Amino acid sequence: MKAAVIHETGGPEVLRYEELPDPEPQQGEVLVRVSAVGVNRYDVNQRAGGASGAPFPLILGVDAAGIREDSGDRVLVTGVPGCYAELVAAPEDNVWRLPGEVDDATAAALGVPYRTAWWSLVDVGGLKSGQTLLVQGGSSATGQASIDVGRSVGATVYATGSEWKLERLRATGAEALAYDDPRLSELEADVVFDPIGGDTFARSVEALRRDGRLVTPGAVTSPQVSFNVWTLIGKRARIIGIGSAPAPRETVEKLIELAARGELRPVIDRELPLSEAAEAHRAIEAREVFGKVILRP
């Protein structure tokens, strides 16, 4: 099979398109022929250095849509390493059947970003209908998924982005604001989702209402943040750090169901051949992307 692999960590150029042996499913696994791969920030981080202790060569990617070789069913695979390939061996527990209403690119986009958004906002953040959500960095795949999830549960959604991305943010159903918009401090958001860190974090704290929750999965800029602790205390607010989002079957089934009904609509920025995985990583790191990048084997 063909696959995009790394033999060392480094820049996008370390991704190589090579011929590798087909995977052999072990007990409890199924073989899936991949039709679409979702590129995640996690993959970029692994390539840049996060996988430095892994055995090489390493096939990146954890989200894909494809066809089960044993049954012919269209399926979503999520949380399974090795998806940047024509074939992936996936544990049965990480495979979900897809309805006809959900195309391959949409399915591949539903994995890590939407699992993270649902876990962060609904399960951990307690976001409910009628509440206010602020998404910092709404143009990223996880940011766009957070806007989508917030809108689907009936929240009023605000999102920040670069000036040239504000119109596209509005098209997702969010009220779009620049990162330094003074109105942020007046939002009184019930939940703020901040994956950026750095200078953005203080504005996230200011945007909270009394008893608000700031949920963060990490920092794509500086992990060193500074804010007025009295602002947090005065609002009686909480900062909640989350790790890797779990993937209970009922959550992923819910996401697939909402997508099938058209209530979740992942934004696909571009589709590239699997052989151009390095270009996908370059575009994400350059912040040229709005929404999701999909690779096609």
104-131 tens-digit pLDDT: 999 999 999 999 999 999 999 999 999 9
- Indicate whether 289 belongs to any domain: yes
How many domains does the structure of the chain reveal?
A: 2
What CATH number is given to the structural domain containing 283? 3.90.180.10
Q: What percent of the chain has pLDDT above 90? A: 96
- Indicate whether 99 belongs to any domain: yes
pLDDT band for position 54 (50/70/90)? confident
Cα 50 to Cα 8, 47, 81, 238, distances in angstroms: 11, 7, 14, 29
Are residue 273 and residue 237 in the same domain, yes or no?
no
Are residue 78 and residue 133 in the same domain, yes or no?
no
Are residue 221 and residue 124 in the same domain, yes or no?
yes
What CATH number is given to the structural domain containing 197? 3.40.50.720
Are residue 83 and residue 130 in the same domain, yes or no?
no
Are residue 195 and residue 215 in the same domain, yes or no?
yes
Q: What integer pLDDT is reported at residue 258 of this predicted model?
A: 98
- Indicate whether 261 belongs to any domain: no
Are residue 73 and residue 123 in the same domain, yes or no?
no
H helical segments located in 110-248: 112-118, 141-152, 166-171, 200-207, 229-235
- Indicate whether 252 belongs to any domain: no
Give the dihedral sign, CA 264/215/154/132: negative
On the question of pLDDT at 29 being above 80, the answer is yes
Distance, CA of 26 to CA of 96 (rounded, Å): 18
* Residues listed for the chain: 297
235-287 tens-digit pLDDT: 999 999 998 788 789 999 999 999 999 999 999 999 999 999 999 999 999 99
Are residue 40 and residue 152 in the same domain, yes or no?
no
Q: Using DSSP, how many helices (H) and how many strands (E) does the chain show?
A: 9, 16
Are residue 231 and residue 126 in the same domain, yes or no?
yes
Are residue 133 and residue 219 in the same domain, yes or no?
yes
Q: Domain range for residue 227?
A: 113-241
H helical segments located in 195-295: 200-207, 229-235, 249-260, 277-285
Are residue 106 and residue 135 in the same domain, yes or no?
no
Are residue 288 and residue 177 in the same domain, yes or no?
no
Q: What integer pLDDT is reported at residue 205 of this predicted model?
A: 98
